[in-house]
Structures are given as structure tokens and as C-alpha cells.
Structure 1
Amino acid sequence: MYAVEADGDLRPKRPDEIDRECGCGCAHTRREFMVGVTAAGIAGVGLASGTGTVGASDSALEGASDDTVTIVHDLHSHSEIGEPDGPNIARYRRVVQEQLGDRDDALFLANGDELGSSTISFFTEGAHKVEFMNDMDLAAAGVGNHDFDYGVDVAEQRFRDSEFPWLNSALYTDEGDLLPGTQRYTTFEVGDLTVGVFNVVLRGFHGITDYPDEYEQRDPVETAREMTTLLRDREDADVVVCSSHTPHETHFELAEKVDGLDAIFGSHSHYTMDAAEIHEGTVISEIGYAYFHLGVMTLDENGDLVSWERIDLDGGVDPDPEFQRRIEAQYEELEDELERSVGETAVELDTSGSVTYGREARIGNLITDVMLDAHDDAEVAFQNGGGIRTNTTYGPGELTAGDVLSILPFGNEIVVFEATGSEIERVLENRIGVLPDNAFGAQQGQQVAGLQYEWTGHEEPEIGDVYVDGDPLEPDETYVVSTTDYLKDIAGAYEPFRDAPVIWESGTALGPAVMEYLEEHSPVEPKLEDRILRVDEDLGTQGAVSRRRGETRLRFDVPEGASDVADASAFVGLARGDDVTDGEFDLDPTSVEVDGDDLWIGYDTGALQRFVARTDLEEIRVFGAFDPDPEHYGYTDPDGSLLELPVAAAYDRFRLKATVDISSPSLRPN
């Protein structure tokens, strides 16, 4: 659902390879973390058929005492239970039970994001997941942002319905009271050890879920310091463990700034490690998204790492039969509704987070077009990239209610209000994740309708030209905006819209609104319309103009950061407004050539002169692609290693902009 952004003093570590995406908008990555051991099996561990391990060798066991605690972790399922014939909670439970049964010192712990936001939770508001978790021998679960997707009242009811403790060390009411149904921490007696566990959540919590503005959220580092001291001094804890729902990079900050913290498990970021990392004496363990991996981390009485493994589940795992029956019953209950056809798409719709965060997407255009269609006066629409789920593709072909509710599982309602041009521009800027800070490359993080805008994501976010229905965005002019109540009232990046009075409420959640639109307009065929234009280098207006063999060639400087420039097939020309000649003139260049430091962009001379003669426009914007030179940009990771570019999965190359000044006398007909 939401972007992973820089959090705290440390810059995010760059993922080395994309491993899996879960639908939250965050790429799952597999990092090579070294703790001085090699990958091998751990002796004496029984594994279900269909699992494999990545973990520590027996050499890591040397010097271990009999006093140990093993943390088996974690769910982080976004309320999913999985489908009957795929990765699911029944397979997961089987492997968890085997791990708990093999160890006398084991605790099964979770780190939050269990109540929202799956297709089933659209109907149950997370109640179905609590029923499963109550039968999983959970020792405790931390809280996460998705546990509040249906409001704090629903979350508190789910906490009370749970037969295990929910740990919450950082979230308090407006009166300073701990949220009802939660505990600040808990302790376990494991053999001769006292093990203390607490929970922290990411900064900016109010901005990414339905958590009341007046409620308090405490900083993760300050919270971790307080809880670690309390557990050590008041509870005489031998080992202190943090159930974390903070971004990956915050874990290194916690390790550096919190004395006495032995281990951190979980993450908001969905990183998948190949080995635990020991940073400043603190063990960090992250194993991605359920139901693909399970983490098993053993610590001794000093909190030192004894052994670690990541158990990888595949289709060969025999599911727990009781849970399998319950999964099947859950789907049978909803089968008729979820399998109902609501329409058809004539094109493939890609919902992967790398696309919906990184560039204009057909699915994003469809969703925001629905928002515009919802109200006659709506001029622009916004949808956050992370609110588009599932990370898969649909069509061409039928779309079911289950498809739509999987893509849009939240109960967010379409609302319409007025905002100024300057407020709209601030929202566009707020959503940009920049290089080198954003671990997933430069991303603009949202989908739009009614707008066309240019953005740059280097060092600082920057918005270039913005147009509303072909006209330049005016800072002081008022525009009618359609989006969801979540974005308007809660999401941090959309804070400029917060105080705008609502002029219309649809009374309909976004998912059902899209279903209704599909029923009326199928087959839909959303097009890519250059609504969102990335600009890594702006070349300005043309210099010299030359003509040869019926072609007009315009000279620009080759981007300094380019190692190679793409050919004309990767270039597109754009005008604005209604005066685009109804297709009589193709604005795309006919040729692109690099000659030393010169970049020549060519047009058919006769066609260009006819266009110039009949238009009132003063310029054409040309957008193209180039391969970046990493040494020119000089972006490095926290270890000082040069970042390879590009580092955003949605783009295979960087983008350039060139402006053709068609008012220039040199382009007028002779």
C-alpha cells in the first residue's frame, strides 16, 4: 500500500536484486548479509517437505550454552490467508508447528500488518485473520500500520478478540493512554532466561493508515531506548528483542543508538535476507512476506546469535488439514460474489508496485478515470501507487469482483473538493522519492488523471511543467479534485488537501466504484497518455538548426550524464492544449543522432513547416531516453560503493527533455 521512504539519519541501503513484490508498493529484496558464517543446513532441524533453508553453519554453534531462546518469526500477511491451492496460512502453520515442536526454547512472534488489507478483509475488517491467529500458538504480535486500515475502533475490537497479546510500545491515545487491547511489552520465561519483547512502528504513522490525528505516536528510537532500559532494569530481562514495524534502514539506526538491544525481527519494508546481520552488536533478522519464508533465530543468554535460518516454503509443503479446510470454507462463503464477472479489459493491466510507483500505468489511468467520472465537475484525480495491490497482471479478458477487490481492497470512499494549483503542485512534489536516498530509485509514487506533469528525482524533488486539461497549472486558481477520503484526510504526502471542505461524498468505496464503471463501460482500454513525465536531464531549447535532404535537424547538447542516447524509437514529442492538429502532424522525431557532444533531433522539413504555419503554440516538448553514467552522478550506498543506474524497476533508462522553440525564425517556412 505505501512507499518505503528514508526514515531517520541513515540513508537506505540499496537492494542488490529484486526478489519478490507483495503488493504493498515495496519491492521485496534479497540482501547478502554476512555474519562470518556460510549458508548450510542446521543440524537437528526437521523440515516439512517442500521447504529449504538458508542459514548459519554449525560453526556458529560453537560456544553456545544450554540457555537459549529461539524466535520463530513472523507473519506480516496484510490479512491474507492465501488461496487454497497457493502459498497460504495452512502451509505456513505446518512449518511453524514443526519448528515449535522441535525446540523447547521457541517463541512464535509476529510484527504486525495482520488485519488489513486483503480481499477477504474488505468484508470482515480483519476478523477472519484473528480467528486463524488464535489457533497458531502465537506468543505475541506487534502492531503495524495495516492493523488500523479500518479505523482505531475496529483495531481495538480485534485486539480484544485475540487470545494472544498485541504489543504496542509507541501508540497512545490523545490522553496519553495505551491503546485499549494492547500491551507496552511482555516477558517470557524460557528455561532460565527472561526474554523481554516490545514493538516499534515507523515514523509518520498518521500519514499511512487510519490512525487518529489527535492520537500520539512516539519515535521508534526513543521508544526502543525506553523499553530496553525498562525491560533490563525493572523486569531483569536477560535478552531484549524488538518486534519491528519500521523500515529496513531504521534497524541500523536502532542498533547504533539503543544500548542493550539484542535483536530486531520483522520490518515494514519486506526485505528478505540471506543471513542475519549483526550491526553494532544487535542482530537484525528480516525474512520478507508471509507465506513464502519463515525466520528462525536462536540467541544465547547474552543475546548473541547462536544460529539463524530462513525456511523457504514452496508448493511441496503439506498444508495443515484443519487450516486448509477453513481456508476453503472462507472462499466458498465469498465464492459467488468474488467470481462474478464485472467487466472486461481489452489490454493487459499491470498492478506491480514497481510500475504503479514508478511511472504512468494503465491500471492507474483506469482507476483515476473512474474518480473523474464519479463527479461531473471533477478536473483532476489522484491515486497513491501503494493503494493499488496484488503485483500481478490482468487481461486482456474478463475481470471479476474478486480481481477488483484484490487490486483495491481498502474501504476508502471517493470524495471531491477544491484545491489551489499550488496545493496540487505541493502534493505532486511530496510524492517523489529521490536518488540516492530512495532505495528503489527515483519514483513519483502515484497515478493521476486530468493532469500532465514533469518530475525530477535527483537529490531534491522537483516538479516541472504541469498542465490541467492542456492548460498550464495556475498556482492561485482553484481546481476540483477527486480522490479518496484516505488520501485527503490521512496520507501524509497529501497534507495540502487536509483542510479543504468536501463538496461531495460518493458514499461508495473505490473498489465497488471501479466495478460499477466496468459494468457500464466494458470493454475498457486505458491508454498510456504521457500523464507522468520523468526528466533526469533538461537540455533546454535548440541551438543550431540545419536542413539536409528534406529533414530539419535541431542541435542540443548531449546530456553530461549520458553514456549512450537511445534512437528515435524511444523519443516522443508532445504539445499541449487542443491545438495538436488532430493527428495531421506526428510530433515524434524522425531521427536522433549523436555526433560528439552534439545531439541532433530531426523532423521532416515540409511537415514541420506546415505545423508551424498553422499552430499558435510556441514550443514542442521532446522526451527521450539515455543510459546514465554512474560515475557522473556519483551516487553511492552507505558503504561508499557506486550505485549502478538506473535503480528503478519501472525504467530501463533515464529520461531527457528537449524543447523545440517553434517560434524561432529558423523554423519558419522560407
Structure 2
Amino acid sequence: MKPTGLRAAAFLLGATALASPAMAETVKITILGVGDAYEFHEEDGRGGFARLNAVARAERAANPNTLYLFDGDMLSPSLLSGFDKGQNTIDLTNIVPFDLAVPGNHEFDFGPENFIEKMKASKYPWAAINITNADGSPVEGLGGVTWKELAGLNIALIPVAQDTTPQVSSPGDLKFLPTVETGVAAARKSREEGADLVIGVVQTDMENDRALIASHAFDVIVSGDDHSYATAYDGVTAYVETSMDARFLAPIDLMVEIGTDRDGNRKIEWVPHFRFIDTAMVEPDPETQAKVDEFKAQLDASLNVEIGVTEVPLDSRRNVVRAEEAAIGNLIADAMREATGAEIAITNGGGIRGDRTYDAGTVLTRRDILTELPFGNVTVVTELPGSQILAALENGVSQVEKGSGRFPQVSGISFAFDPSAPAGSRVSDVKVGGEPLDPDRIYTVATNDYMLGGGDGYSALGGGRVVINAGNGNLMANDVIDYIARTGKVTTRVEGRIRKLGAN
């Protein structure tokens, strides 16, 4: 029988005890996973690369049998990445390199060429078993299943990327195989090839995480993408959802017993010990902090320029801009429409990234707007019939229950939607300038270049006559900055542009 991790069923069936407990060896394997690390600096004294690197150094010092793993999303989005396309995150993680990094969807926000460039600049390996070139050939420099030998254990690391990346980012013609199926198959094959421990390093949503856990093909899974913190253990698979910006970390200590059964076969048993680290309690790594301070100084001079005061509260939190009309979404869409003279503006809530609130009376700076809109997207204009605009809105609300970034923030148009209706049939009462949407009439629509190219599933925005393309458009952030600076204030409120039916 091939070696396996501890299985809950073994307890229920009365697993055979080790033949000679005195001959068994117990070793500790520490697994530290992190992902969705965008901002180079701390936020309210928590997170950031200086604290992350301090934790990684400490874990390796405490246990040489430590695996430090990155499960996706660092090159984008952040304020600084808008200038250096994520090089700052490479510089900071090179100080304390990972044992393995998996590309997240945001690794491709600046195109596949930028990812390959940054991968080459890394002092650690990147890998993903489900990313290939368009012809199915391997991507140069991107590894696959990675084997590590620690404390006499053969450990297989299964790196898996998010298969929806082509819909939510810009990976060019790279091909992404199914996340779950590809990951499970590789895990099972690694077990057959003699892995004592199989560890999934994945960047995918919780729905896929649950499927990976249920496969019982993995001993441990560290996962990113959801921006949340979670740990779980079902008696077979230990799981960590690795938070955001290294705010909270959860090292897992596997206490592994290596021995033999009565037949003389190698036998591996383990128990997970989860630990919780609030990085607000961590002293920043001095070497990393010096680099962070350098980056901060570069930004401060040009970004701390005041542009206006908001007279109303603004809320850019993820659960707001991806689920309902938001005043900040109205502000951004209004700025796009005014800058272009379009009749309608539609932008994706997932492109609004500040994840914070602004009280009425807050003085807004260029930094604030660039933090909210860090992707460097350009405002474009196309001409479309009303039927395609309706299809675009249907796409926008089709995954609202999942918190998808495609949720639309709009200007010049209003609509209602029923989240309990089938996707594709949720939108009603669409009006443009107060008049019902005419499916046959051609409207001018301002959006961003990412959405015009089909990003976030917005294929319905394509095919029209493009009036302003990406090469001739302005940065969205600049349109918003100019819009605020023109009057020196923000007065845009939530006003019923988007109505959720069935809501209390």
C-alpha cells in the first residue's frame, strides 16, 4: 500500500497500531501559506510585507522543516503597482523568498509578458499545473508539481491556478485547465508515486476549495482568492484560507509520526495544530521595512495632493461595490460619462479596490482615487444597441450572490434586478435618461478597456463601433480626479440607479 496521510476512517475502523512505538519517529512540518498580498505597507498597524517577512523568518528559525508558500495575487492591484506593474512586490518577497509561488489571476492584469518578466526577477520558483501556452506546451519558467524532502518525508506540492483567470484578467492566449479536476488528478498521481504528504497550493474561490477538500486527495490545502481568513479540518484534509495583505496568518504544524506497521510497511500518521497570528502583534522585519519606507517616500510627494472634499459618505468596501449601488460607484461612472459625453457609463464594481469608507467631510487626495482605481484602466467609448446593453447588465448581476467583481456601477441608466431569478433573466425596468431602454436604438456607452475587451464576462460590450479606444482614452483615475477637482467637492449619493427587488 502506498503511504498516505492520517485518515479519519482509520480511527473508525480501528487502525492497526505501530508495531513498535519505540521505533517510531515524530517530526514537525510547519506550513505557512499567504496570498492576496497587494499593498507593500501596513494598514492600521496590521499586514504588509515587513510584518509578513518577519513572520516567515521567525517560522524558519523556529523550525527548519518549514514550507513557506504563496497562493496567488501580488503583482496587482495596488497603488504602487499602477506605476511599476508589481515590481515592488517582487523586490519585497525576494528578501525572504517563498519555497513556491502560484500565480493568481491578478498576476496577469498587466498581460502575460509582464508576469513572465516578474517571474524571471523572482528569487523563488513559480508553478501552476493547469497553465499552458495556447498550443498546450509548458510556459517557460513556470513549474509543475514540486517535490520537497523534509525530515525524511517525501512531500508533493500541487500548485493550481484559478481557471477563470481569462474572464477576470488579461493572460493573453495562455490556456487554463480546470482547477478542481486538474488539481485532484495531480494529487492522486503524486500519492501513487510515493508522496508521504500531498499539499495543495491553490488560488481559487471557496466553492472550488470545498470540492478540493471533498476529494480527500490532499492532506493540506492553502488557498487564496477570497480575501478571508478560515481554517478547517475534516479528519482528512487540513485547510487554510490565507486572508489578505498578510493581516492574519495561520501556520499549520503537522506533527508527523513515521513508523512501520506489523507487516513492515512504512506508515505515516499526522495531526494538524493550527496557530493564529495577528500581524498587528508582529514587529516588522527591519530590512524589509527600510525598503517599504523607500517606496513610501517615492509615492508621498506626488500623491498627497488634495483634490476636493466629499460632502457625503462614500463606501468602497468589497461587499458594497459588488452587490449594490454605491455612491463611489456613481461618482466614478459620472466622471467617465462627463469626460466622454457618452449617454451611459458602466464600470465593474470589482475594479474599485479601496475597501474602505470615507466620512462626510473627508478631504480626498490623488492617492485616494488611485487606491480605489489601481489597475490603470482607460475610459473608452463604444456604440451599442439597447439589446446588448441589457445583456451587459444581465452579465453584471449574474453572479451577485458570489460577490463577483462584474457587478455594474452605472451612470445615465437605471435598472432593477431580482437576485433570486435565474441568471440571464434578472434585470427589469431599464431606463436611459428616464426613458425605457430601446433594444434597437444605438447608444453611446463609456466603459473601461478591460470590460470592452470582454473582461468579467462583458462580451456583450464588444462588437460595436468604438468611438474612443484604449490608445486614445484617459486613465479612469484621471477622469475621476479631474471631475472632483473641477468643483472641489463630491455630492453624489445613492439615488436609486440600481434597485434590488425582494430586498427589505
- Say whether the fold is shared (TM-score over 0.5): yes
Within the alignment, does 1:211 sit opposite 2:211 as a pair? no
Question: Matched residue of 1:318: which SS?
Answer: coil
**Cα distance 1:434–1:176, how it changes in 2: closer, same or farther (>3 A)?**
closer
- Specify which of 514, 517, 526 is matched with residue 480 of structure 2: 514
Tell me the alpha carbon deviations over residues 20-75 of structure 1, each in whole angstroms, 9 at most, x when there is no partner.
Answer: xxxxxxxxxxxxxxx9xxxxxxxxxxxxxxxxxxxxxxxxxxx9952442211114
- Which one of 387, 396, 402 corresponds to residue 431 of structure 1? 396
* Number of matched pairs: 467
> Which residue in the other structure is 1:371 paired with?
336
Q: Is residue 2:29 matched to residue 1:90?
A: no
Counterpart mapping for 1:55-454 below 5 A: 65-82=25-42, 87-212=47-172, 214-234=173-193, 236-257=194-215, 260-273=217-230, 275-278=231-234, 281-299=236-254, 300=256, 302=268, 304-314=270-280, 316-376=281-341, 378-394=342-358, 395-432=360-397, 438=401, 445-454=407-416
Q: Match of 1:159, SS?
A: helix
What is the CA deviation profile of residues 443-491 of structure 1, one whole-angstrom value per residue up to 9, with x for unaligned ones? 9822101111011011524111100111111122221110001111142
1:241 Cα deviation (Å)? 0.9
Q: How many angstroms apart in 1 are the aligned matches of 2:275 and 2:242?
A: 10
2:417 paired residue number: 455
SS at match of 2:322: helix
Q: Which has the higher helix share?
A: 2
The answer as to whether partners of 1:277 and 1:285 remain within 8 angstroms in 2 is no
The aligned residue for residue 12 of structure 1 is: none
Instruction: Report whether the alignment pairs 1:532 with 2:498.
Output: yes
Change in Cα spacing, 1:474 to 1:303, as seen in structure 2 (3 Å) is farther
CA distances 1:640-663 after superposition (whole Å, capped 9, x unpaired): xxxxxxxxxxxxxx24xxxxxxxx
Counterpart of 2:61 in 1: which secondary structure?
helix
Whether the aligned pair in 2 keeps the contact of 1:142 and 1:198 (CA below 8 Å) is no
Q: Which residue does the alignment assign to 1:586?
A: none
Q: 1:311 to 1:397 in 2, by over 3 A?
A: closer
Residue 502 (structure 1) shift: 1.8
Q: 1:84 to 1:532 in 2, by over 3 A?
A: closer
- Given that residues 46 and 278 in structure 2 are in contact (C-alpha distance below 8 angstroms), is that contact kept between their aligned partners in structure 1? no
Name the CA distance, whole Å, in 1 between partners of 2:456 and 2:164: 7
Residues 348-357 or 147-156, more deviating: 348-357
How far apart, in 1, do the equivalents of 2:396 and 2:473 lie? 27
The residue number in structure 1 matching 2:441 is 477
Aligned equivalents of 1:247, 1:180: Cα separation in 2: 26
Q: Deviations over 1:495-546 (max 9, x none)?
A: 111333422134322112211222223223113221101111xxxxxxxxxx
- CA gap of 1:434–1:493, structure 2 versus 1, over 3 A, is closer
- Separation of aligned partners in 2, 1:409 and 1:516: 16
Pick which of 501-510 and 240-249 moved more. Answer: 501-510
Alpha carbons 1:244, 1:266 under 8 Å: kept = yes
Q: Report the residue type matching 1:210 in the other structure.
A: S
Aligned equivalents of 1:277, 1:508: Cα separation in 2: 49
Question: Structure 1 residues 305 and 390, CA, compared in 2 at 3 Å: closer, same or farther?
Answer: farther
Matched residue, 1:503: 467
Query: How far apart in 2 are the matches of 1:476 and 1:409?
Result: 35
Q: Which has the higher contact order (CA 8 A, sep 6+)?
A: 2
Q: For the Cα contact (< 8 Å) 2:327–2:494, is it kept in 1?
A: yes
The one-character-per-residue Cα deviations of 1:404-439 (angstroms, maximum 9, x if unpaired) are: 11111011111111122111111211222579xx35
**In the aligned structure 2, how far is the partner of 1:305 from the partner of 1:478?**
63
1:113, CA displacement in angstroms?
0.2
Change in 2 beyond 3 A, CA 1:85/1:294: closer
The answer as to whether partners of 1:343 and 1:518 remain within 8 angstroms in 2 is yes
Distance 1:111 1:453 in 2: 38
- Aligned partners of 1:155, 1:444: CA distance in 2, in Å? 23
Distance of 1:528 and 1:256 partners within structure 2: 42
Q: What's the secondary structure of 1:457's corresponding residue?
A: coil
- Maintained 8 Å contact 2:31/2:68: yes
Measure, in 2, the Cα distance between the counterparts of 1:306 and 1:87. Answer: 25
Q: Could you tell me how far 1:319 is from its partner in structure 2?
A: 1.4
Asked if 1 retains the 8 angstrom alpha-carbon contact of 2:406 and 2:456, the reply is: no
Name the aligned partner's letter for residue 472 of structure 1.
P
Query: Residues 524 and 76 from structure 1, CA distance in 2 versus in 1: closer, same or farther, beyond 3 angstroms?
Result: closer
TM-score (norm 1): 0.66
Q: Secondary structure at the match of 2:26?
A: coil
Shift of 1:317: 2.4
TM-superposition CA deviations, 1:216-255 (whole Å, max 9, x none): 1100122113322443345x32211111111112112123
Letter in 1 for 2:440: D
Residues 497/107 of structure 1: CA separation in 2 closer, same or farther (3 Å cut)? same
SS across alignment from 1:150? coil
1:332-351 CA distance string (max 9 Å, x none): 11211111123332222211
The 1:298–1:501 alpha-carbon spacing in structure 2 relative to 1, beyond 3 Å, is farther
Distance 1:85 1:400 in 2: 21
C-alpha distance in structure 1 between counterparts of 2:71 and 2:79, whole Å: 21
Q: Which has the larger radius of gyration?
A: 1
Change (3 A) 1:231 1:345: same
- Is there any run of 5+ residues in structure 1 with no aligned partner, and where? 1-34, 36-62, 537-653, 656-670
Is the CA contact 1:64–1:306 (under 8 Å) kept in the aligned structure 2? no
Matched-pair contact (CA < 8 Å) for 2:34–2:224: no
Cα deviations by residue, 1:531-570 (Å, 9 ceiling, x for unpaired): 101111xxxxxxxxxxxxxxxxxxxxxxxxxxxxxxxxxx
**CA offset digits 1:579-623 (Å, max 9, x no partner):** xxxxxxxxxxxxxxxxxxxxxxxxxxxxxxxxxxxxxxxxxxxxx
Alpha-carbon spacing, 1:525–1:115, altered in 2? closer, same or farther (3 Å): same
Superposition RMSD on alpha carbons, in Å?
2.4
**Structure-2 separation of matches of 1:87 and 1:256:** 31
Question: Matches of residues 626-645 of structure 1 in structure 2 within 5 Å?
Answer: none
Letter of the structure 2 residue corresponding to residue 241 of structure 1: I
CA pair 190-342 structure 1, distance change in 2 beyond 3 A? same
Distance 1:304 1:523, change over 3 A: same
CA distance in 1, matches of 2:98, 2:406: 38
